[in-house]
Amino acid sequence: MIIIIILAILFLDQLTKFVIIKELSLYQSVAVIKDFFYLTLIHNRGAAFGIFQNQFYLFILSALVAIGIISFSLKNNKTKKFSLYNFSLALILSGALGNLIDRIRFGYVIDFFDFKVWPVFNVADSAITVGAIFLAWHILFSKKKKY
């Protein structure tokens, strides 16, 4: 089940980025819900919120390390059944893979969800964020600590 989740999110991330780069030019913005939500194509050469611009090798290395650690954790998790812990790691892993693919292919990450009050982001970023929230929830509120 975890593999299916990873592949589905990775596919959705790459598909949405493919469509966006085919339909929009750089910095072009299209209103989906006027004055609230737009699709705006940007090339993010930084990390979250655009910090650490143009640190290509740092981002590649950190993504590979994160992917390795998460993959190891999923493979060696004592609980092989579906759990919030496994689900959160699958979300983070799929997001890391999606953005890593962009960095290797283009040298930057394709971002396009634009709420104008928050930095522009993509499906992979969303997966990482939701996965991190679920992981924090699991760590803080799980009665049995099985890591």
62 CB neighbour count, 10 Å cutoff: 15
What Å distances lie between residue 62 and 19, 69, 114, 125, CA to CA? 27, 11, 26, 15
Selection from 95, 104, 105 nearest residue 125 by Cα: 95
Question: Which of these is catalytic: 13, 102, 111, 114?
Answer: 111
Sheet architecture: strand order including 37-44: 29-33, 37-44, 109-114
- Rounded Cα–Cα distance for residues 34 and 9 (Å): 27
- Rounded Cα–Cα distance for residues 32 and 133 (Å): 27
111 a catalytic residue: yes
125 a catalytic residue: yes
Active site residues: 111, 125
